[in-house]
Structure 1
Amino acid sequence: MQLLLLIAALHLVVLVIPGPDVLLVSQTALARSRRAALFAGLGVVLGISCWAGLALLGINALFTAFPWLHGIIKVAGGLYLLYLGAVLWRSSLRNGEAGAPVPVPMGDLRALRAGLLTNISNPKAAVFFGSVFSSVLGAHTSPGLKLAAFAVIVCLSVAWFVLVALGMSTAPMQNLYLRARRGLDRAAGTLMVGFGGLLLASRE
């Protein structure tokens, strides 16, 4: 039980620290719809599930044997975040005219894919699950405890991103966003570009 509580605490810290995943779900909730944000959050959770599952299968050993693999993930992730930032900036220019813009619909599959790709392409997730998560569990942890740890990770992720999607898609939050859409899209785009640039510039 103590081990599961430790894993839960570590994962909560990683979840609540603002990053590409939280930014994507929040921006989708504000600019699109609650449904789209929930599907984007589901995509993020699927990505987290993939990383957690790979960690339980020994992804740390894979990165140790093939260090270039982590480099490929880092570059791909950085480029994808730069792309998302450019999309947000282009949206701010296109929707910056006077008037009362309305949320643009976003298909379920597209939102799900955006969340999945944002998480999968984030090497920080690979670092957490490939090192911290794997180290806490240890090589001799029983299969039952590993399964319980996986369940804890998934359940906490679902709860957090549902909370973000519901909270950011309320009418007051969306109305606030619509009144300042151009600036907020540019701020979100700049943050995405910043995240991507940091990944590409980092040496580890």
Structure 2
Amino acid sequence: MEYVAALAGLALVHLLAVASPGPSTVLVIQTSAVSGRRAGLLAAFAMMLGALVWAAAALYGLQILFARFEWLYVAFRIAGAIYLIYLGFMLLRHAGAPLPEADPAAAQAGAWQGFVKALLLQLSNPKVMVFMGSIFISLLPAQPPAWMDATVLAIVAINEFTWFALLALLFSGSTARAFYRRTKVWLDRIMGGALGVLGLKLALDR
């Protein structure tokens, strides 16, 4: 019963964290609105994969390595900040460009580009691992059984994919895409600016 309560608490806290607005939310929404449902779902899958990497790292001790070699954490953090600022700059730069016309080949290429962008975004932010490590320490027993580690990873995967897939389905609909097409210049500027600010925040945070 103790294990069930710990896992339920972990699932709730992690889901609330996933649902809080951040760069991942911005990227999945933008990818879904620009490139469609398939691209949005691939981006959601990439977010899940990246979160699983950090969750496994937190479970198996990478946080201790970061604590021991602070320069390694700083390097990851700065690299993630630079990538966020780059994504923001590219959105601002192309804000005035019209959306490309429907083309199956271009749509497929755009979907995989969205997957790569999302995966790199998730993997370039070590704060994800630090957060997961903190909630694992707070909510899980000191020496959990092996099945519990597997359950934790399953919870992370389900929460991440479910939330981002819902965003992808919502913002890839015809109404949302039509709205995005009409307001692309301003939405891209807002989202690009938000990514740039989040990148600066990541660079300056300790």
TM-score (normalizing by structure 2): 0.90
Correspondence for 2:80 among 69, 77, 81? 77
Moved more, 181-190 or 107-116: 107-116
1:105 corresponding residue in structure 2: 107
Render the CA deviation track for 1:112-161: whole Å, top value 9, x for unaligned.
11111111112320221232224422441111111111111111111111
Correspondence 1:183 to 2:186: yes
Identical pairs, percent: 34
2:145 corresponding residue in structure 1: 142
Superposed CA RMSD in Å reads 1.7
Render the CA deviation track for 1:26-73: whole Å, top value 9, x for unaligned.
011111111111111111111001001111111221112111111111
Correspondence 1:125 to 2:124: no
User: Unaligned 5+ residue runs, structure 1?
Assistant: none
User: Unaligned 5+ residue runs, structure 2?
Assistant: none
Q: Is the 8 A contact 2:63 2:133 kept in 1?
A: yes
Correspondence for 1:197 among 182, 200, 205? 200
TM-score (normalizing by structure 1): 0.91
1:1-204 mapped onto 2 (5 Å cutoff): 1-95=4-98, 102=101, 105=107, 107=109, 108-202=111-205, 204=206
Shift of 1:102: 4.4
Aligned partner of 1:27: which letter?
Q
Supply the distance in 2 between the matched residues of 1:94 and 1:172 (Cα, whole angstroms): 20
Supply the distance in 2 between the matched residues of 1:92 and 1:24 (Cα, whole angstroms): 14
Render the CA deviation track for 1:75-115: whole Å, top value 9, x for unaligned.
001000000001101111333xxxx8647735243221111
* TM-aligned CA distance change 1:145 to 1:193, over 3 Å: same
Aligned partner of 2:30: which letter?
Q
Q: Is the 8 A contact 2:10 2:135 kept in 1?
A: no
* TM-aligned CA distance change 1:185 to 1:115, over 3 Å: same
Q: Is the 8 A contact 2:7 2:140 kept in 1?
A: no
Aligned partner of 1:126: which letter?
M
* TM-aligned CA distance change 1:102 to 1:177, over 3 Å: farther
Supply the distance in 2 between the matched residues of 1:27 and 1:138 (Cα, whole angstroms): 39
Instruction: Give the count of matched residue pairs.
Output: 199
Q: Is the 8 A contact 2:29 2:167 kept in 1?
A: yes
Structure 1 stretches of 4+ with a deviation exceeding 4 A read 100-104
